[in-house]
Amino acid sequence: MIEIDQISKVYDGKAAVDAVSMTVETGTITVIVGTSGSGKTTLLRMINRLEEPTSGEVRINGVVTTSMPGHILRRRIGYAIQGHGLFPHHTVGRNIGAVPQLLGWSKEKTRARVDELLDLFSMDPAQFRDRYPAELSGGQQQRVGVARALASRPDLLLMDEPFGALDPIIRARAQTDLRRIQRTLGSTIMLVTHDMEEAIHLGDRVAVMDGGQLVQHGTPAEIIQNPATAFVADMVGGVDRPLRLLSLIAVADIVEDGPATGTPIAAEASLRDALSACLWSGRDALPVTRGDAIIGRVTLPAIRAQAQATA
Amino acid sequence: MLSAPGLLFFILGCAALTAPYMTLAANRIVAGDGFRAWQLAAPGPSVLALGVLAAGLAMGVLGAWPTLRVIGAALGLGALIWLLTLGSTTLLDGAGEYARVSPAAGFWCLVVVLALLLADGLTNLSPGPWARLGILGVILGLLAALLTSGLLSQLSIMQEFSSRKPAFFDALSRHLWLSLGSLLLAAIIGLPLGIACYRKPRLQDTLLPALSFLQTIPSLAMFGIMIPLLGWVGDTIPGAQAIGIAGIGFAPAFIALVLYSLLPVVANTAAGLGSTPPAAQEAARGMGMTFIQRLAKVELPLGLPIILAGLRIVLVQNIGLAVIAGLIGGGGFGAFVFQGLNQTAIDLILLGALPTVALALVAGVLMDILVALTQPHTRHVSESAP
Ligand SMILES: Nc1ncnc2c1ncn2[C@@H]1O[C@H](COP(=O)(O)OP(=O)(O)OP(=O)(O)O)[C@@H](O)[C@H]1O
Ligand SMILES: [Mg+2]
């Protein structure tokens, strides 16, 4: 558990981060979202003490972060910086193995870990291990940057706009990958973005920042349904709100018995996908499958009811 | 396709042929009479040698074939040497016991033109660092073979050399000690200072202007200042004289060279370390590296080419400046140059100047190779779908 307690950073008399408090549960993803200059990076850098807070403190599992030297603290916390920050003179393998090396892992253990991570990010180790960062595409560089942050299996992972340079398709895949990796490893992640779509898609919790202050902290559904301020409402986007909400609910949640024809939809898909499929194919109901078996149907009126009931 | 520099070299080369190629003097001191290239030997060999020379220069014009241009330059240089050997035999024949032959303006101009052609052709071939090292080795090997073969032993500069062999090698080692030793000491002092400047920009703001000021002191004045200063140190501090500190000699020259070297070393070290991509520095800090670890793993390796470029400036500069050390008894090739100036003996001046130029050229090429070898991987592949 990470407790951020009344933390502030003042630059030249102006607060970049203003008395922010929040608690992050172990094993969850918290996405910090806000416009440019709202203090997201500064907040993140105060957690691993790349920036010393002007006031306030951070506790990780009850231990105050200032109780140990900064570089020791940082070795335990994964950090993927804004822009990949890979070492241009080291191969992909050495880049990913940088923290394990600092921690004194054996060569074999580090090497195995590097290959494991490359596999995890769908990059063939044999092909990419010995390349230099300049020999990768922008998206590959960013994935290596994230892999490097994960290398020592840190309990806490800080990520600053890790998917900034990716095109929408790769970006969606990288987000899904990150979710899967986080679920399997059970790590705690704090991720910064200025993209509300990404925040809703990835976050167990979303923290919205505006002008250095934390204006709302809650589940994606809470943020969409009850925006605390006009700014949050603006970020969530007025007309898109029902659609965003539907994207959070799985088809499985409202599946019902009854007949339906045509191409089926998977139970794990979101209601937003189901709505889209209904509109596109002109049907009022879709068969729902789990694995290969049809388990029922989802209907347009039921989807509409969800959007109305909650919005 | 014609090579524009090649064409220029051809025209300059032909023009240089109209200047005297060699001179014949009655003795070591008096000025000699000039002889043109075609006056040096019987018509047969003359025409052949000049033909080879012209063919070499003409091959340099072929812009599309850099290899042929290099071969042309080599042929031309060979022809120059051959003309020199032909000329020295012919001219010395019956000219008296003290007569001396030397290469003259025409020869030197042609050497420069052909060397430029050679360099231009090699640059077009763009050899890698190891290939460059190999080429340098071959050229130095050929030069050494030529000088020890006795082919040129009748030339006055070679006679000057053979009558001063021990002094020459003494000067060579002195010169190397002065320039390499001062480089080493400057690096030992300058690298930590550069690192400190990188860490504390405020220190950099005061230190660099001070070192720049040192750099602006003219070399003669600097050596002049050293004489009373070190003379005083030698006289007053016990034991100083015993380790060779005195107003004149090796110590003042060495110290002056070190002082001149500090600015390039310190400035380039600070600049090299600062040239690391900020994102890489931030990542290094973010993963928990200490200042020393960041220095060793990230900033020094990435800044090395710029730091070495600073050392290259220092080495080449010091090889040249060390000549002035001859003036205050520091030894080195400068001793020959100043003796030669006193006696108006051109050959003696050249005996000091030519090896200095050669040393500086070789040092420059070697350091360039080192810089190229330490260049980090910056090849960028265009953005493609991962
Ligand atoms: N070292 C610094 N000195 C002075 N001001 C700073 C410093 N670092 C950040 N700031 C200021 O603090 C504010 C917050 O910056 P921060 O980098 O945290 O924003 P951000 O939310 O991460 O923005 P972006 O989305 O553009 O990355 C900005 O107004 C910035 O100018
Ligand atoms: Mg930022």
**The pLDDT value given to residue B135:** 93
Which residues of A fall within a CB distance of 8 Å from B293?
102
B302/A89 CB distance under 8 A: yes
> Is B282 at the interface with chain A, CB within 8 A?
yes
Average pLDDT, integer, range A129-140: 90
Predicted-complex ipTM score: 0.82
From chain A residues 159-198, the ones with a CB under 8 A of any chain B CB are 167, 170
pLDDT digits (tens, 9 = 90+) for A232-249: 888 887 657 778 888 888
A188 and A162 part of one domain: yes
Which of A44, A20, A33 has its CA nearest to residue A223?
A: A33
Q: What tokens were used for A174? A: 């990288």
Number of CB atoms found within 10 A of residue B339's CB: 17
The beta-strand segments (E) located in A149-276 are 156-160, 188-193, 205-210, 213-218, 265-266
A136 and A213 part of one domain: yes
Give the count of domains, chain A. Answer: 2
**The pLDDT value given to residue B270:** 95
**The pLDDT value given to residue A310:** 56
pLDDT tops 70 at residue A60: yes
Distance between CA atoms of residues B307 and A142, nearest Å: 30
A32 strand-pairing partners: A192, A207
A151 and A287 part of one domain: no
A149 strand-pairing partners: none
User: B299: which DSSP letter?
Assistant: I
pLDDT tops 60 at residue B248: yes
**The pLDDT value given to residue A61:** 92
Which has more pLDDT, A274 or A240? A274
User: B383: which DSSP letter?
Assistant: P
The residues whose Cβ lies within 5 A of ligand 2, an ion, are: A 41
> Which of the residue ranges A35-39, B78-82, B225-229, B289-293 would you say has the lowest mean pLDDT?
B225-229
The CA angle A52-A53-A58, to the nearest 5 degrees, is 100
A50/B377 CB distance under 8 A: no
B246 close to B191: Cβ distance less than 8 angstroms: no
pLDDT tops 50 at residue B386: no
Distance between CA atoms of residues A3 and A58, nearest Å: 6
Distance between CA atoms of residues B244 and B264, nearest Å: 27
**The pLDDT value given to residue B383:** 35
A77 and A153 part of one domain: yes
A25 and A100 part of one domain: yes
A190 close to A174: Cβ distance less than 8 angstroms: no
Q: Which residues contact B316 (CB under 8 A, 6 or more apart)?
A: B360, B363, B364, B367
Three-state DSSP string of A216-247? EEECHHHHHHCCCCHHHHHHHCCCCHHHHHHC
Residue B100 is inside which H or E element, if any? strand B100-103
CA atoms within 13 A on the CB side of A305: 7
B24 strand-pairing partners: B33, B101
Average pLDDT, integer, range A81-91: 90
pLDDT tops 90 at residue B96: no
What band does B384 get if pLDDT is binned at 50, 70 and 90? Answer: very low
pLDDT digits (tens, 9 = 90+) for B250-278: 888 898 899 999 999 999 999 999 999 99
Distance between CA atoms of residues B378 and A89, nearest Å: 8
**The pLDDT value given to residue A239:** 59
**The pLDDT value given to residue B283:** 94
Number of CB atoms found within 10 A of residue B67's CB: 13
> A191, A215, A237 — which closes off a domain?
A237
Q: What tokens were used for B274? A: 């600062």
Q: What tokens were used for A121? A: 């990010």
Residue A232: exposed, middle, or buried by beta-carbon count in 10 A (0-12, 13-18, 19+)? buried
A149 and A278 part of one domain: no
Q: What is the CATH number for A25?
A: 3.40.50.300
Provide the mean pLDDT of chain B.
89
Query: Highest mean pLDDT: which of A105-119, A173-187, B52-66, B216-230?
Result: A105-119
CATH 1.10.3720.10 is right for the domain spanning B165-380: yes
A19 close to A195: Cβ distance less than 8 angstroms: no
Ligand 1 neighbour A298 (Cβ under 6 A): no
> Is B280 at the interface with chain A, CB within 8 A?
yes
B201 strand-pairing partners: none
A98/B287 CB distance under 8 A: yes
CA dihedral over B279, B280, B285, B288, signed as positive or negative = positive
A139/B289 CB distance under 8 A: no
Given the CA of residue A194, which atom of ligand 1 is nearest to it? 25
* Ordered DSSP codes for B236-290: HSTTTGGGT--SSSHHHHHHHHHHHHHHHHHHHHHHHHHTS-HHHHHHHHHTT--
Residues of the domain holding A40: 2-237
For the whole model, what pTM was predicted?
0.81
**The pLDDT value given to residue B385:** 35
Length of chain A: 311
Number of CB atoms found within 10 A of residue A274's CB: 25
What band does B367 get if pLDDT is binned at 50, 70 and 90? Answer: very high
What band does B229 get if pLDDT is binned at 50, 70 and 90? Answer: confident
Distance between CA atoms of residues A3 and A13, nearest Å: 26
Q: Which residues contact A170 (CB under 8 A, 6 or more apart)?
A: A139, B385, B386
Average pLDDT, integer, range A273-299: 88
B283 close to B181: Cβ distance less than 8 angstroms: no
**The pLDDT value given to residue B295:** 94
Which has more pLDDT, B57 or B43? B57
Residue type, B27: N
Q: What tokens were used for B218? A: 């003219």
Domain assignments of chain B as residue spans, ordered by start: 4-161, 165-380
Which of B80, B79, B69 has its CA nearest to residue B122?
A: B69
What band does B220 get if pLDDT is binned at 50, 70 and 90? Answer: confident
pLDDT tops 80 at residue B237: yes
A140 and A159 part of one domain: yes
From chain B residues 286-315, the ones with a CB under 8 A of any chain A CB are 286-290, 293, 297-298, 301-302
CA dihedral over A18, A21, A24, A29, signed as positive or negative = negative
**The pLDDT value given to residue A180:** 85
pLDDT digits (tens, 9 = 90+) for B319-352: 999 998 888 888 889 999 999 998 888 889 999 9
Length of chain B: 386
Radius of gyration over every alpha carbon of chain B, rounded to an integer in angstroms: 25
Q: What tokens were used for B205? A: 């703001």
Distance between CA atoms of residues A228 and B144, nearest Å: 85
CA A118 / ligand 1 centre spacing (Å) = 32
CA A15 / ligand 1 centre spacing (Å) = 10
Number of CB atoms found within 10 A of residue B202's CB: 8
Return the residue whose CA atom lies nearest to atom 2 of ligand 1: A11
Which residues of A fall within a CB distance of 8 Å from B275?
none
pLDDT digits (tens, 9 = 90+) for B137-158: 999 999 999 999 888 888 889 9
Distance between CA atoms of residues A77 and A49, nearest Å: 10
CA A167 to chain centre: 16
pLDDT digits (tens, 9 = 90+) for A158-212: 999 988 877 788 788 888 888 888 888 888 999 999 888 889 889 999 999 999 9
From edge to edge, which strands make up the β-sheet containing B100-103?
Answer: B33-35, B22-25, B100-103
> A237, A269, A292 — which closes off a domain?
A237
Best probe residue, ligand 1, of A8, A33, A42 (max atoms within 8 Å of C-beta):
A42
User: How far, CA to CA in Å, does A300 sit from each of A221, A264, B88, B357?
Assistant: 21, 14, 107, 89
Q: What is the dihedral of CA A269, A273, A275, A276, to 10 degrees?
A: -150
> Is A143 at the interface with chain B, CB within 8 A?
yes
A20 and A138 part of one domain: yes
User: How far, CA to CA in Å, does B275 sit from each of A140, A271, B64, B206, B307?
Assistant: 24, 51, 38, 20, 11
A22 and A158 part of one domain: yes
B70 close to B121: Cβ distance less than 8 angstroms: yes
A116 and A261 part of one domain: no
**The pLDDT value given to residue B380:** 40
pLDDT tops 70 at residue B115: yes
User: A156: which DSSP letter?
Assistant: E
Distance between CA atoms of residues B302 and B296, nearest Å: 10
Residue type, A250: A
A72 and A203 part of one domain: yes
Helices (H) and strands (E) in chain B, counts: 15, 3
User: How far, CA to CA in Å, does B263 sit from each of A256, B189, B323?
Assistant: 81, 11, 20
Map residue A287 onto helix, strand or coil.
strand
A224 and A249 part of one domain: no
Q: What is the CATH number for A289?
A: 3.10.580.10
CA A51 / ligand 2 centre spacing (Å) = 13
**The pLDDT value given to residue B265:** 95
